[in-house]
Structure 1
Amino acid sequence: MQNEPRYLEGKAVLITGASSGIGAAAAAVFARQGAAVVLAARREDRLAALTAGLRAEGALASHVVCDVLRPGDAARAVEAVLERHGRLDACFNNAGVGGDRAPLHLMDDEVYDRIMDTNVRGVWNCMRHEIRAMLEHGGGAIVNNSSVGGMVAIPTAAPYIASKHAVIGLTRAAADEYARQGIRVNAIAPGTTRSEIIDDWFARNPEIERQAHASTPQGRTAEPEEVAEAAAWLCSDSASFVTGVVMPVDGGFVNQ
């Protein structure tokens, strides 16, 4: 129906890792559903271009430069939302990194530290400041981006697997701790999803793309918008009785 209400109408939303991939798709999806979106990432040029594009389509969008590894940056990102919109209704903590593939015993400390710091400490930094703001403004919804790697084992990716399991642990702990204070915390677990990095990887390794499709019951790779739609729904009041959930968005991969 054309007059069907948008399910994020009037909500102020912070999206991290918003300069590309799932984060950029989320900015568009959340805005299309009526949210005022604040995009946060390290690359200001990409943020500015995405923000301008959203505004040209009539969205209420702005951006803030943020490195989630820095607690001060995470705090400033939350403050930016509060200053611009008066409240923080929802957050999509999407920022994260992959990493080099190697057997665990050959993995360098630097790879472990980089992945764990970004994927776990980055979410931790953001959640601390987001929750404080939501407690002061009557509650809210947080969605963390984990991975199917947070639910199953994937060979030669031990630090990444550990980091995404940790994101699910943080999600469940916070969901339990803040449910009675009006804050819902959920996670999504995407499977292989189209992005600049994935497209380049597949172009250089066609056999890996074939294997990825063969291991997914739906037989394809997700589009970033499909993942973003799941996050948007979990941030909305339509999911008002959903908290502590890890939602696979993976074409059936973990169901096998």
Structure 2
Amino acid sequence: MRVLPATLHTLVTVTRSNLEVTLSEVVDPALPLTPHSGLAGMSVMVTGAGSGIGRAAVAALVAAGARVLAVGRTEQALKETAAEAAGPGEASWTRADIRRSEDVEAAVRVTEERYGPLQGAFNAAGTFGRFGPLHGDDPENFADVVGTNLGGVWDCMRHQLPRIREAGGGSIVNCASVAAHLGHARSPLYSATKHAVIGLSKSAALQYAADNVRINVVSPGSTDTPMLRSLYPSEEALDTRRHRAPLRRLGTSQDVAGAVLWLLDSTASGYVTGQTVIVDGGVTAGSS
């Protein structure tokens, strides 16, 4: 049965043969039918919030009524993220390096001090590291890329999960990449860590499903962010990325944030866990 918008205070008359039935509006007009209403009042921690996808997720969450702690390494960028977020929710920030366990633990604690029991998290922080042939790589780059992309997600979940479970359940979304579904010739190490994020997330989803904690992954394709433009600084290089996608454009941070909100909102995706949503313009669908 189609539910009429709550703004319509009307009676509907349905006629079938000689039967006439009058139906009153079935939706309480006091309940707004807004997208992602399940996020209203939700306490959420977002890493990598200083720019790009993380910043867009903070803005979208606040617009949906969530209370969000923006986490990252650069103070000025975090201040801008929190200041730009507008809506019925609220945002604040704290500095943290997700490669440092004490920073992650402190960020979770700050989220709860400001907004109450942790109910959701988007672990978006990541790094490409240095691109190049595998034989030319070094232990420092390995430690940075693995420590951020895999170790950081692992440590965030390690501190987030007990708090979300104690709150009665919630949702975690981890950020992987289209490189988790394909090889990446310029950075085998980056691709490997993103493959690992999916494996980690699927396994944790199985462990915590009985606690009403859902864990999923979003895998962005080429998304127009400062990080992507630092890797592909020329318009010619960006055009190549655009034409790889069947939709013939780069993704936007808002494209990815939309998928993140859907996964965080248990009223929208409450039966979804251990899954990956690929936001890549069709790249992994095959050749066009």
TM (normalized to structure 2)? 0.84
Give 2:122's aligned residue. 92
Q: CA deviation at 1:100?
A: 2.1
Let me know the Cα RMSD of the aligned residues: 1.5
Q: Using the alignment, how far apart are the partners of 2:263 and 2:88 within structure 1? A: 24
String of CA shifts for 1:132-165, please: whole Å, max 9, x gaps: 1012111110000000111111212111001101
Give 1:34's aligned residue. 65
Q: Using the alignment, how far apart are the partners of 2:134 and 2:249 within structure 1? A: 28
String of CA shifts for 1:234-255, please: whole Å, max 9, x gaps: 0001110000001100001111
Deviating more after overlay: 110-119 vs 176-185: 110-119
Q: Using the alignment, how far apart are the partners of 2:75 and 2:243 within structure 1? A: 37
String of CA shifts for 1:76-105, please: whole Å, max 9, x gaps: 111111111221111000000012221212
Unaligned runs of 5+ in 2: 8-31
Q: Using the alignment, how far apart are the partners of 2:79 and 2:234 within structure 1? A: 32
The equivalences for 1:20-31 within 5 A come to: 20-31=51-62
Three-state SS of the structure 1 residue aligned to 2:85 is helix
Unaligned runs of 5+ in 1: none
1:71–1:157 Cα change, 3 Å: same
The equivalences for 1:148-159 within 5 A come to: 148-159=178-189
Q: Using the alignment, how far apart are the partners of 1:241 and 1:4 within structure 2? A: 20
1:49–1:156 Cα change, 3 Å: closer
Give 1:244's aligned residue. 274
Give 1:206's aligned residue. 235
The equivalences for 1:185-196 within 5 A come to: 185-196=215-226
Q: Using the alignment, how far apart are the partners of 1:77 and 1:188 within structure 2? A: 22
Q: Using the alignment, how far apart are the partners of 1:215 and 1:51 within structure 2? A: 34
Q: CA deviation at 1:214?
A: 2.0
Q: Using the alignment, how far apart are the partners of 2:223 and 2:169 within structure 1? A: 31
Structure ranking higher on relative contact order (CA contacts 8 Å, 6+ apart)? 1
Larger radius of gyration: 2
Paired residues, what number?
Answer: 254
Three-state SS of the structure 2 residue aligned to 1:92 is strand
Tell me, yes or no, if the aligned pair for 1:175 and 1:183 is still in contact at 8 Å.
yes
Aligned AA for 1:218?
L
Tell me, yes or no, if the aligned pair for 1:217 and 1:251 is still in contact at 8 Å.
yes
Aligned AA for 2:272?
V
The equivalences for 1:1-256 within 5 A come to: 3-7=32-36, 8-54=39-85, 59-202=89-232, 204-237=233-266, 238-256=268-286
TM (normalized to structure 1)? 0.94
1:158–1:201 Cα change, 3 Å: closer
Tell me, yes or no, if the aligned pair for 2:61 and 2:89 is still in contact at 8 Å.
no
Tell me, yes or no, if the aligned pair for 2:51 and 2:81 is still in contact at 8 Å.
no
Identity value in percent: 36
Quick check: which one's helix share is greater? 1
Tell me, yes or no, if the aligned pair for 1:6 and 1:34 is still in contact at 8 Å.
no
Q: Using the alignment, how far apart are the partners of 2:239 and 2:92 within structure 1? A: 39
Aligned AA for 1:76?
A
Q: CA deviation at 1:108?
A: 2.3
